[in-house]
Structure 1
Amino acid sequence: MTEPAPVVTQKPAGFRWELLTVLWLAFFLNQADRQIFSVVLPLIRQDLGLTDAELGLIASALVWTYGLLVPIAGFVGDRFSRRNILGFCLLFWSCATLLTGFCATVLQFILLRGIATGGGEAFYAPSANALLGEKYRESRSFALSIHQTAVYFGIILSGIIAGYIGEQYGWQKAFYLFGGLGILLAVVFFIRIPKDTPVLKTDSQKPLLAEIGETARIVIRKPTVIMLTLGFGCMVFVNVGYLTWMPSFLVDKFGMSLTDAGFSALFYHHLGAFLGVLSGARISDHFAKTNPRSRLVVQALGLLLGAPFIYWISMSQTQTMTYVALFLFGIFRGWYDSNIVASLYEVVSPKIRSSAYGLMLACAFLIGASAPYLLGVLKPTLGLTLGLASLSGVYVLGSLFIGSGAIWFFDKDREPAE
């Protein structure tokens, strides 16, 4: 393995808060840009005459691209300036989002929405989470959870704004707006955030794929990492399936307008997730002081307790009961989210955290990528009600994976305290 570079000089506290703020805004746009398509999906279907299977394929293309590129992003994040990586990937996916507004065919959507947007977004999370993990060592779960809340705000507000803009001015304008905002933020990012020093020196004698293989061999020897990855894959499968089809489900089942469906499908769930991620972080940080295994336990409980409410969402006969189920599903989804990164960091060396997280993301997103396409294929026969209800079983399976890692493998795999 390459040797670690000299320790990076600590920046003042004010810089750390500015960094968190700018990264929060970037992650907000990351998730908003990803969600726009699902919100305006009925308008695209009506305008361009695309089938449910084709629309599901477009959504899956983004997740497949993300899953294939994110391990490379993780290794790049350990070896080059994370500030430069984050700034350029923000600029790239924002340009792709803006250009998606000009799409008129399935192939164009796959290239711009799937490959370009997904490829740009793949380079964000490994570097951003690793950078924040270094700056907030004593309150890592809390800082990472604050960053995670950008997911919920990004998805909720994109549902409201994109739905309204789509209905009033056309679906294309939603892509123009969010893409343009991302380009402006990229400029601010490069101006305000100073360049950092890579954690690892680049080894010019060793090809990137060889280094990926070397790190993969390290983490694969740790069953806890495998269990966390499988659990993450189950969560991603449920999440991308739900996010892609829930607005359409509410339109079809309750005859709601696109704006109301986009808001309701995302607001109640992510309000619960916002509260859940903060409470889950506090709970796990408290108990992890004496028992670091607690981070995995909180995640496993989050998936297990959230599963019944996924079923309830699909089977509820009234909008009110559906919203209650969405909120409670969100609470326990937040418990899981609060420790995605912190749990992994308990069992991998600081030198390869970005790389290991990239591999974990890749496997999880490749597992979960097929959900939108499968639900789209099954929609004409099985229907979205049964399709979405079946996702509850996937949550239970994910809980079993993480619980197994916590019980049987964690003590052996845990890294020494920093």
Structure 2
Amino acid sequence: MSKPNFITEPEPASSLVTSGRAGFRWELLVLLWLAFFLNQADRQIFSVVLPLIRQDLGLTDAELGLIASALVWTYGLLVPIAGFIGDRFSRRNILGVCLLFWSMATLFTGFCTTLMQFILLRGMATGGGEAFYAPSANALLGENYPKNRSFVLSIHQTAVYFGIVLSGLIAGYVGEHYGWQRAFYLFGGFGIVLAFIFFSRIPKDDPNVGVVGQRPVLAEIAETARIVVRKPTVVLLTLGFGCMVFVNVGYLTWMPSFLVDKFGLSLTDAGFSSLFYHHLGAFLGVLSGARIADYYARTNPRSRLVVQSLGLLLGAPFIYFISQSDTEVMTYAALFGFGIFRGWYDSNIVASLYEVVAPGIRSSAYGLMLACAFLIGASAPYLLGVLKPTLGLTAGLASLSGAYILGGLLIAGAAKWFFEKDRES
């Protein structure tokens, strides 16, 4: 079977780049940053106001857990489909519609009074809408900022850190003083307004459709998947991403409880401390990692993978020290160091993938990468919970450093043995 036309295509010149409006590229980045901020913030609202919902509606812990799981399951199932759609339709339209959709679902979650309403609106609708954001957003940014791709994508990535930390503070304050419903009204309403601004300011793009429309969609999807799987670099990058997600999900789930148990912090203090110091480091790390990668990638594109590998390998000791430190200060210092090198890794997640994937299938490839990583990482909270009664949470968290080492070695292997061949194919 001959290769599809899009495999040897040059980097496309998106119509967005030639819009002619002064400062347009930065306007695109700002609007997508705000959208990604809401994408992450809306996921955290439920966890922050969960005690208030339990008290107000009398839902059990199992029911509340089911609501949270519904979002993750929906996201994981739909994100590969979102990637394929992102390569076949206007990414501007996809982003605007999904932002409007999940924001409306977030707003209407404030009206929920039953378990089924929460599952449908919070779990399936919010999770489904958010699944369509990342593949198209990263592909659109990658095409519009080819010369400083890592730096721009890393700025976009900082929305994750701000979204997680600030949503906790804002939603917690609003929920405590004005009721949990108004936290959903606030974030959902802001997203609806942003969606209309996005449609009014961003021109419709001309997607790189290649041979799409000339072959059945299912055949096109199958062919794209085969192309991606045949590149060892993509496979190893995906496995490395899975290792990172495994650590991140486990850390986010159990770190607040760890600080409560070990240092006797209140839940509010533990929730803030477990997120703030790590994400402050990640914010600094993602910017420095992007600058380093962009500088060296001018002469050696595999440098992006090297920075990612170093981020995981150098971050592993800090993960171990988080659980082994005897004082709060040392624990927070370890969280900060862990964040710095997590940022190095984050700064090149998408840029490294794009080095070995043709423009016409980038959104699809990233969607598949996300799905696999979520499936791998979703088991971390459960496994740590199983180990907690026997080995203890200290040993469980320390063991996460092994996943970082494994991920770093996998990406290093991709850079050394497969990158050049996969980049040329």
Q: Deviations over 1:53-107 (max 9, x none)?
A: 6655544432332222111111111111111100111111112222333445655
Q: 1:225 and 1:201, CA in 2 relative to 1: closer, same or farther beyond 3 A?
A: closer
Q: Does 1:265 align with 2:274?
A: yes
Q: 1:342 and 1:69, CA in 2 relative to 1: closer, same or farther beyond 3 A?
A: same
Q: What TM-score do you get using the length of structure 2 for normalisation?
A: 0.89
* Higher alpha-carbon deviation: 202-211 or 42-51: 42-51
Q: Deviations over 1:266-307 (max 9, x none)?
A: 111111001100110111111111211111111111111112
Instruction: Name the counterpart of 1:282.
Output: 291
Counterparts in 2 of 1:100-249, with a 5 A limit? Answer: 100-103=109-112, 107-200=116-209, 203-204=212-213, 206-249=215-258
CA contact (8 A) 2:13 2:143 kept: no
Q: Distance in 2 between matches of 1:312 and 1:212?
A: 44
Q: Distance in 2 between matches of 1:18 and 1:122?
A: 23
CA contact (8 A) 2:243 2:404 kept: yes
Q: Deviations over 1:102-158 (max 9, x none)?
A: 445655444333322221111111111111111111111111111111111111111
* Higher alpha-carbon deviation: 155-164 or 381-390: 381-390
CA contact (8 A) 2:258 2:393 kept: yes
3-state SS of the aligned residue for 1:197? coil
Q: Deviations over 1:334-359 (max 9, x none)?
A: 00001001100111111211111111
3-state SS of the aligned residue for 1:80? coil
3-state SS of the aligned residue for 2:99? helix
Q: Distance in 2 between matches of 1:111 and 1:372?
A: 24
Kindly tell me the number of residue pairs found equivalent between the two proteins.
415
Q: Does 1:359 align with 2:368?
A: yes
CA contact (8 A) 1:278 1:338 kept: yes
CA contact (8 A) 1:58 1:110 kept: yes
Counterparts in 2 of 1:405-416, with a 5 A limit? Answer: 405-415=414-424
* Higher alpha-carbon deviation: 359-368 or 385-394: 385-394
1:315 aligned to which of 315, 319, 324: 324
Instruction: Name the counterpart of 2:334.
Output: 325
The Cα of 1:381 is off from its aligned counterpart by 6.2
Amino acid at match of 1:272: G
Amino acid at match of 1:77: G
Q: Does 1:50 align with 2:50?
A: no
The Cα of 1:368 is off from its aligned counterpart by 1.4
CA contact (8 A) 2:208 2:359 kept: no
Q: Distance in 2 between matches of 1:69 and 1:286?
A: 35
3-state SS of the aligned residue for 1:388? helix
CA contact (8 A) 2:44 2:167 kept: yes
Instruction: Name the counterpart of 1:344.
Output: 353
CA contact (8 A) 2:59 2:115 kept: no
The Cα of 1:249 is off from its aligned counterpart by 3.7
CA contact (8 A) 1:57 1:373 kept: no
Q: Distance in 2 between matches of 1:221 and 1:192?
A: 39
CA contact (8 A) 1:29 1:154 kept: yes
Q: What TM-score do you get using the length of structure 1 for normalisation?
A: 0.90
Q: Distance in 2 between matches of 1:28 and 1:278?
A: 17
CA contact (8 A) 2:286 2:345 kept: yes
1:392 aligned to which of 389, 401, 404: 401
Amino acid at match of 1:36: I
Counterparts in 2 of 1:365-376, with a 5 A limit? Answer: 365-375=374-384
Give identity over the alignment, percent.
81
Instruction: Name the counterpart of 1:79.
Output: 88
CA contact (8 A) 1:94 1:180 kept: yes
Amino acid at match of 1:90: L
Q: 1:371 and 1:221, CA in 2 relative to 1: closer, same or farther beyond 3 A?
A: same
* Higher alpha-carbon deviation: 357-366 or 245-254: 245-254
CA contact (8 A) 2:74 2:127 kept: yes
Q: Deviations over 1:13-56 (max 9, x none)?
A: 511111111001001111111222333445556664633x6655
Q: Distance in 1 between matches of 2:383 and 2:113?
A: 23
Instruction: Name the counterpart of 2:19.
Output: 11
CA contact (8 A) 2:247 2:400 kept: yes
Aligned Cα root-mean-square deviation (Å): 2.6
The Cα of 1:204 is off from its aligned counterpart by 4.0
Q: 1:376 and 1:219, CA in 2 relative to 1: closer, same or farther beyond 3 A?
A: same
Q: 1:159 and 1:74, CA in 2 relative to 1: closer, same or farther beyond 3 A?
A: same
Q: Distance in 2 between matches of 1:375 and 1:96?
A: 32
CA contact (8 A) 1:59 1:373 kept: no
3-state SS of the aligned residue for 2:233? helix
Q: Distance in 2 between matches of 1:32 and 1:149?
A: 12
Q: Deviations over 1:295-331 (max 9, x none)?
A: 1111111111112222222333332222111111100
Q: Distance in 1 between matches of 2:178 and 2:391?
A: 34
Amino acid at match of 1:34: R
